[in-house]
Amino acid sequence: MKKIAVLASGSGSNFQALAVAAQSGILKAEISLLVCDKPGAFAVDRAEMLGIPALVISPKGYPSKAAYEEEILQKLISLDIDMIVLAGYMRLIGPTLLNSYEGKIINIHPSLLPAFPGKDAIGQALAAGVDTTGVTIHYVDEGMDTGPIIASAAVRVAAGETRESLQKKIQRIEHSLYPEVLEELLNGKEEAVKWEKSVH
């Protein structure tokens, strides 16, 4: 069974969705580790509740990004991690991890990339007045949400939509799409994972 490490910075709702999917057998993989760069983030509490080990590691304690990522890498190697999955991890991945896990780092982003990359994609979509946004799962490269797209799903932006209501719509899709796509990837069915779905 493949072993996955999830990197998160915030509440960890996607991390929990993946962990529950794995523990219930929907995702046939082991979520072996949470890596969190924000001490006190709720993702760490979720990991404890789910019985998943957590590495809480602040970049401020390291002289360089490379040194910080090397610490993470050594932990991943010690656990025989096969794939890195980002779930609200708010840092660009550097060469230390990219080179060691080339083609094996996946991210989920709350927009239809290439639209609205970076932080606050939901706020960006609302400010732009678009009638459709969505969710994108993509491979991670050195850029800001620029890696090759694996799957996406559209989400309609209703009249009078608030940040909170749109976030709930997007998260509902994320929590089902992410485990499904990862399961297909682990089974070598990348060409089959393109989701065609709209949420109103």
State residue 187's pLDDT score: 77
Read off the pTM.
0.92
C-alpha distance from residue 37 to each of 65, 74, 118, 157 (Å): 12, 16, 17, 32
| 111-120 pLDDT per residue, tens | 999 999 999 9
Where does 51-94 have alpha helices with state H?
65-78
State residue 186's pLDDT score: 86
Q: Where are the domains of the chain?
A: 1-102, 107-200
Residue 12: pLDDT over 70: yes
Report how far residue 136's alpha carbon sits from residue 139's, in angstroms, rounded to the nearest whole number.
10
Of 194 and 69, more confident? 69
Residue 197: pLDDT over 70: no
Q: Are 21 and 49 in contact (CB under 8 A)?
A: no
| 81-132 pLDDT per residue, tens | 999 999 999 999 999 999 999 999 999 999 999 999 999 999 999 999 999 9
- pLDDT, average across residues 38-67: 96
State residue 190's pLDDT score: 57
The domain defined by 1-102 carries CATH number 3.40.50.170: yes
State residue 180's pLDDT score: 92
Say whether 107-200 and 1-102 share the same fold.
Answer: yes
State residue 198's pLDDT score: 43
The domain defined by 107-200 carries CATH number 3.40.50.170: yes
Strand order of the β-sheet with 29-36 is 54-56, 29-36, 2-8, 83-86, 105-109, 132-139, 149-156, 198-199
Residue 192: pLDDT over 50: no
To the nearest 10 degrees (0 to 180), the angle between helices 13-23 and 163-186 is: 40
- pLDDT, average across residues 45-56: 97
Active-site residue numbers? Answer: 109
Report how far residue 142's alpha carbon sits from residue 191's, in angstroms, rounded to the nearest whole number.
23
State residue 49's pLDDT score: 96
> If you compute the radius of gyration of the chain from its CA atoms, what whole number of angstroms results?
16
